[in-house]
């Protein structure tokens, strides 16, 4: 499969709300590895300051399921969540992997990186001689990686971990690395955004990124553009309260300024997404999330004497 065909697959197969994208990715990766006599993508996954929701989201990968991703797409050498080894044994694997695959491995960072108190708010482990703070580990392993992927909004932009008052001094991965970082944002990330990015790195290298460093394949259009309630917006028909069927822009929906393909990719086996269950988009893929979106579900101010206000059904946008 050529690169442009892969990109078309990412967008076009979603129109039917099925599993076409996921089902197509795995066979193409396997054919590529066999044809090019290549190995799977070596991955080191560091978890810093976050809630752990992104590795849980990753576990929700469907068609191929998580075991097939491990078996046929990536070699996950280190992850404190997924690996059996602990303590010094895990750190030994981490060190040997970084040495063996120097400038070939992909570094995945989950969570923002705390800087206050010399980074002691997040410690990956202890050696005999020193403490391994997350900020030092991300800098060192990021320097020697071929690619760096920030998974989730905390790693991509700071997210909830760096939200006010940010007592740990947490920052995004790109703020401590002087190199390109692929931001696969989301709180949590949609598993297909992450798996699709890994597949692209393996077969085609660096994907096209938007102005926030996110793969344009998945973040190139706003939630608003393909929202199932777009026709209500275009006709100035706005919801009055949560549960109404009209456009929820009046209730603080951030869809018009949020890049993501949630309306047609959807979540959890492609079953649903927030707006489908009467919840406004809170803009979780955005650089300013959550501070820029809060307080959530806040109605826009009405214009006194407007026709929509007088109608008792619609609210001014």
Per CATH, is 222-317 categorized as 4.10.480.10? Answer: yes
> Rounded CA gap, 191 and 64, in Å?
11
Q: Which CATH number applies to 3-219?
A: 3.40.50.700
The backbone torsions φ and ψ at residue 226, rounded to the nearest 5 degrees and listed phi first, read -115, 15
Task: Provide CATH 4.10.480.10 ranges for the chain.
Answer: 222-317
- Alpha helix ranges (H) inside 127-285: 134-143, 153-157, 191-204, 216-219, 230-234, 262-265
Give, as one character, the DSSP assignment of residue 65: T
The whole-number pLDDT of residue 14 equals 55
> Rounded CA gap, 196 and 215, in Å?
10
Report which of 134, 196, 128, 187 is spatially closest to residue 161, judged by C-alpha positions.
187
Q: At what angle do helices 3-12 and 191-204 cross, to 10 degrees?
A: 170
pLDDT in tens, 128-146: 778 899 999 999 999 999 9
Are the C-beta atoms of 48 and 134 separated by less than 8 Å? yes
Task: Provide CATH 3.40.50.700 ranges for the chain.
Answer: 3-219
Check residue 131 and give left, alpha or beta (phi > 0: left; psi -120 to 50: alpha): beta
Map residue 222 onto helix, strand or coil: strand
Q: Which regions of the chain are under pLDDT 50?
A: 304-317
Pairing of strands 170-171, 113-114: antiparallel
**Beta strands across the sheet bearing 147-151:** 74-79, 41-47, 106-110, 147-151, 182-184
Map residue 41 onto helix, strand or coil: strand
Pairing of strands 74-79, 131-133: unpaired
Map residue 47 onto helix, strand or coil: strand
> Rounded CA gap, 44 and 196, in Å?
17
The whole-number pLDDT of residue 312 equals 34
Are the C-beta atoms of 239 and 315 separated by less than 8 Å? yes
The whole-number pLDDT of residue 315 equals 31
């Amino acid at each position: 499969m050529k690169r442009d065909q892969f990109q078309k697959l990412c967008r076009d197969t979603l129109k039917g709300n099925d599993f076409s994208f996921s089902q197509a990715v795995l066979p193409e990766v396997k054919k590529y590895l066999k044809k090019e006599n290549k190995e799977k993508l070596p991955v080191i996954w560091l978890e810093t300051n976050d809630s752990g929701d992104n590795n849980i989201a990753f576990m929700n990968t469907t068609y191929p399921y998580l075991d097939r991703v491990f078996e046929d797409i990536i070699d996950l050498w280190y992850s404190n969540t997924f690996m059996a080894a602990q303590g010094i044994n895990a750190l030994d694997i981490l060190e040997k992997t970084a040495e063996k695959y120097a400038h070939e491995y992909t570094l995945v960072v989950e969570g923002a990186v705390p800087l206050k108190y010399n980074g002691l708010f997040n410690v990956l482990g202890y050696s005999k001689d020193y403490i391994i703070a997350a900020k030092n580990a991300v800098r060192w392993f990021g320097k020697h990686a071929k690619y760096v992927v920030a998974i989730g909004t905390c790693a991509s932009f700071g997210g909830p971990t760096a939200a006010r008052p940010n007592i740990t001094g947490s920052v995004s991965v790109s703020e401590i690395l002087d190199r390109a970082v692929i931001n696969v944002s989301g709180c949590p990330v949609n598993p297909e955004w992450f798996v699709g990015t890994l597949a692209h790195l393996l077969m085609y290298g660096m994907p096209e990124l938007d102005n926030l460093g996110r793969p344009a394949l998945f973040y190139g259009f706003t939630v608003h553009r393909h929202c199932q309630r777009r026709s209500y917006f275009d006709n100035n028909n706005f919801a009055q309260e949560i549960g109404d069927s009209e456009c929820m822009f009046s209730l603080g929906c951030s869809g018009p300024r949020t890049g993501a393909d949630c309306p047609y990719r959807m979540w959890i086996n492609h079953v649903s997404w927030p707006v489908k269950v009467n919840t406004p988009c809170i803009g979780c893929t955005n650089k300013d999330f959550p501070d820029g979106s809060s307080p959530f579900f806040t109605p826009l101010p009405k214009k006194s004497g407007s026709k929509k206000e007088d109608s008792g059904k619609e609210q001014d946008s």
